[in-house]
Amino acid sequence: MAKFITVSELKTLLSNVKGANFVNLVYLVDESKSKTVKGNKLVQKLVKTNVTIGSSYENKVNRILETKQNETADFVAQAPKGKMFFAKNILTDAKTESKFYLSAIIENTTKRSTTYYHQNKKVTRAEIIAMDLVTPAFTKPKSVSGRGSVNVENDFSVITPNIENIVAINMNKEKYVVLEFDNGIQQEAKNQLA
């Protein structure tokens, strides 16, 4: 049975996580490669995926370099652009320190379920491309982690969804569903999870 929590309670929960944890995460965000009209992204995406929280990006890159690629483990991570750490798993915006983001790692082999939306209606990846709702970068392959030092077969992604965009999270055998929903897409996601 899911526990319903507020965004504030979720932030506290995530801030207090000790060590690396495997988490099932559901979040709703604007598609970063979506075109924008009058300051609003045209495409949103609901993502369901497994992530790791509480592990160090720098340590992960160096572990891959040393153990999987037989290279010198000398990678030094740069500070996140426009963000700084508030807690081990939580970033905040450097300018106002009023927005909070979960820092999580997704393995390259992890299967993600992504549902796209345009004007609160489900659309396919092919449809958003055909409707010209995304930039050309949407269809280009991404670069690898570690500023190019990690091989493609060892690659992973770092995501930083705003905590306010997290719909649900499964962690330590507990399912949490966030109470604050402000649009039909989030409500649909809540209905699927509850």
**Per-residue pLDDT tens for 48-76?**
999 999 999 999 999 999 999 999 999 99
Rg of the chain over Cα atoms, rounded to whole angstroms, equals 17
Q: What is the pTM of this model?
A: 0.86
Residues 85-118 pLDDT 10s = 999 899 999 999 999 999 999 998 899 999 999 9
Can you give the pLDDT at residue 171?
93
- Give the pLDDT of residue 183: 58
**pLDDT tens column, 114-170:** 999 999 899 999 999 999 999 999 998 877 676 778 888 888 989 999 999 999 999
Residue 74 CB burial class (10 angstroms; 0-12, 13-18, ≥19):
exposed
**How far is 185 from 41, CA to CA, in rounded Å?**
15
Is residue 41 scored above 70 in pLDDT?
A: yes
Mean pLDDT of 1-24: 92
Closest CA to 2 of 183, 180, 178, 181: 178
How many other C-beta atoms are found inside a 10 Å radius of the C-beta of residue 120?
10
pLDDT band, residue 189 (cuts 50/70/90): low
Query: Which pLDDT belongs to residue 1?
Result: 80
DSSP string computed for 81-108: TTEEEEETTEEEETTTS--EEE-EEEET
End-to-end CA distance of the chain: 8
CA distances from 187 to 5, 71, 115, 144, 179 (A): 15, 47, 14, 34, 10
What residue type is assigned to position 86 of the chain? F
Q: What's the confidence (pLDDT) of residue 141?
A: 81
Report how far residue 154's alpha carbon sits from residue 143's, in angstroms, rounded to the nearest whole number: 12
C-alpha–C-alpha distance, residues 125 and 131, integer Å: 10
